[in-house]
Amino acid sequence: MTNKIKFTKMHGAGNDYIYVDTTKYPIAEPGKKAIEWSKFHTGIGSDGLILIGSSDKADFSMRIFNADGSEAMMCGNGSRCVGKYVYEYGLTDKTEITLDTLSGIKILKLHVEGKTVTAVTVDMGSPLETGEVHWKGKYPFRSTKVSMGNPHLVTFVDDITRINLPEIGPELENYPLFPDRTNVEFAQIVGKDTIRMRVWERGSGITQACGTGACATAVAAFINGLAGRKSNIIMDGGTVLIEWDEASGHILMTGPATKVFDGEIVEEVENGELRVENEY
Ligand SMILES: N[C@@H](CCC[C@H](N)C(=O)O)C(=O)O
């Protein structure tokens, strides 16, 4: 017996996820599917799985699973892609959309050219918590914790190219100070309100970009007096603009959303074999 699931691979500044409309294709055990489908050699290859669904509180809902199967509260880059998905696949004709996430309701403003969503601005709400970490000799730096619904640890350094992210990323992600683990960002001020950032994501490792991580970096830069309220965050896969609005206290994130391809997963339910068919 087979089970067919249509999916769309999308990315926001290179942060790539598999998107499934669960109103048409309900997904049982999403954490397990995220692990299986995210694998590069034996699955589709992605940073994780995003489920789009209905909500009684908002226009749509979003759930995000990292490549290791853990569920996160929020995904900045993913929320922009959900905006593009629901508009371009005809699930709505609204250009202002409310999105129900585990981190509360977010408002998406779509930037539309013709029938294409070229960029999305997300009202990410206010940062929930900030704090300093002094490593007391363990590491030669000071870090700033910022919660954007999910946890981030941002460290500013003089030269980001000197950071061995594959080594220090997992070390900090799993440091005992962070019982829920943490996302890890290293950042360098490269110009006025321009910040270069690299990220090690909790549950996914090095990714090309992280939307909530970009917000956390801009917040950390502002509170440490390193940037103003509006910063461009340049990541390995692209740039997002982050603005910390003084009146509302909300963080506004504007950036790209890109479709890569549509595909169909054909699961052989009896023997658990996975076959993926793509349509470019
Ligand atoms: N890449 C995302 C964040 C995804 C979740 C994160 N790895 C976590 O576990 O908190 C983004 O764009 O925000």
Map out the domains of the chain as residue ranges: 2-123+257-268, 129-249
Q: Which CATH class is domain 2-123+257-268?
A: alpha beta
- List the catalytic residue out of 62, 75, 119, 215: 75
Pocket of ligand 1 contains residue 182 by CB under 6 Å? no
Centre of ligand 1 to C-alpha 72, Å, is: 7
Whether pLDDT at 268 is above 90:
no
- Residue 210 is a catalytic residue: yes
Environment class of 105 (CB within 10 Å of its CB; exposed 0-12, middle 13-18, buried 19+):
middle
Annotated ligand binding at 76? The verdict is yes
Cross-strand partners of 71: 65
Q: Tell me: ipTM over 0.95.
A: yes
- Residue 75 is a catalytic residue: yes
Give the Å distances, CA to CA, from 128 to 191, 219, 223, 238.
Answer: 27, 11, 14, 26
pLDDT digits (tens, 9 = 90+) for 182-199: 999 999 999 999 999 999
pLDDT digits (tens, 9 = 90+) for 13-46: 999 999 999 999 999 999 999 999 999 999 999 9
Pocket of ligand 1 contains residue 64 by CB under 6 Å? yes
Mutate to test the pocket of ligand 1, among 201, 254, 258 (most ligand atoms within 8 A of CB): 201
The predicted pLDDT at position 275 comes to 64
Q: State the average pLDDT for the chain.
A: 95
Domains 2-123+257-268 and 129-249 share a fold: yes
Q: CATH second-level architecture of 129-249?
A: Roll (3.10)
